[in-house]
């Protein structure tokens, strides 16, 4: 499963106040300089990223970012969170935002058991942010090993995309969480994602680039 921001009123006002710049091809010189992570869903050495060679997206893969609920499962396992911080170097004259986010993984939910994923995105030092959320309701079971694959895409238009400062090194923050709840069927169980390598939770951030001054 994969993961994707602000005061929409503020951004909408800005959009009507001035013409919006057009998207451009990803520039050379952009790089991710660091990755920090913390939380119950991403212990040390369990989150990894790969930046596309054309700098149009980045994939983040987790091996411990999952939640589960059931009669014999402790409440502490119902929710897992992960805070990611990407240090990024942006070339002069350019800015970027996250245009869409893809989520992939696996899940299984008994009747009336629910699952939810949420991510909040913002750049360090900025007030504006964006929130993405998806919800699932059981019963859901896959044909193989009683699990189903999960895919969800969040798309952001120009008004609701949060952009980095123009031509400056900055930090992109992503605060995510996954939840599973069986309060409407206490005998039921379910999980979202998994901790095995073949059922990793995966998040793809697709970038939107613009020129700026």
Whether the CB-CB separation of 102 and 204 falls below 8 Å is answered with: yes
Beta strands in 70-213 (DSSP E): 79-89, 94-109, 114-123, 130-137, 148-155, 170-181, 190-192, 201-211
Closest CA to 136 of 63, 64, 69, 49: 69
Rounded distance between C-alpha atoms, residue 131 and residue 5, angstroms: 5
Rounded distance between C-alpha atoms, residue 203 and residue 65, angstroms: 11
The 10s digit of each residue's pLDDT in 34-68 is 888 899 999 988 888 888 888 788 888 888 889 99
Q: Which two tokens stand for residue 59?
A: 């994939």
Q: What is the torsion angle, in degrees rounded to the nearest 10, for the CA atoms of residue 21, residue 23, residue 27 and residue 29?
A: 60
Contacts of 20 (CB under 8 A, 6+ apart): 158
Contacts of 141 (CB under 8 A, 6+ apart): 108, 109, 147, 148
The 10s digit of each residue's pLDDT in 79-116 is 999 998 989 888 898 888 887 788 888 888 999 999 99
- Residues making up the chain, counted from first to last: 213
Q: Which two tokens stand for residue 194?
A: 């998994």
The 10s digit of each residue's pLDDT in 141-195 is 754 455 677 777 777 654 446 788 888 888 988 898 999 999 999 999 998 874 3
Q: What is the pLDDT of residue 6?
A: 30
Rounded distance between C-alpha atoms, residue 3 and residue 178, angstroms: 11
Global pTM reads: 0.76
Q: What is the H or E stretch that residue 159 is in? A: none
User: For 207, phi and psi rounded to 5 degrees?
Assistant: -85, 150
């Amino acid at each position: 499963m994969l993961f994707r921001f602000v005061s929409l009123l503020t951004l909408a006002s800005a959009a009507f106040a001035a013409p919006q710049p057009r998207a451009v091809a990803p520039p050379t010189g952009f790089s991710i300089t660091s990755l920090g992570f913390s939380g119950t869903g991403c212990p040390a050495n369990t989150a990894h990223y790969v930046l596309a060679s054309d700098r149009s997206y980045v994939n983040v893969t987790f091996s411990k970012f999952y939640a589960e609920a059931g009669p014999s499962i402790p409440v502490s396992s119902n929710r897992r969170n992960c805070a990611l911080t990407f240090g990024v170097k942006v070339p002069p004259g350019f800015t970027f935002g996250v245009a869409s986010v893809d989520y992939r993984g696996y899940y299984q939910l008994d009747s009336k058991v629910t699952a939810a994923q949420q991510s909040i995105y913002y750049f360090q030092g900025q007030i504006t942010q964006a929130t993405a959320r998806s919800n699932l309701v059981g019963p859901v079971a896959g044909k193989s090993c009683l699990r189903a694959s999960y895919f969800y895409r969040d798309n952001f238009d120009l008004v609701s995309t949060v952009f980095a400062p123009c031509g400056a090194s900055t930090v992109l923050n992503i605060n995510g969480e996954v939840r599973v709840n069986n309060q409407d069927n206490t005998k039921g169980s379910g999980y979202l994602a998994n901790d095995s390598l073949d059922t990793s939770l995966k998040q793809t951030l697709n970038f939107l680039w613009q020129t700026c001054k």
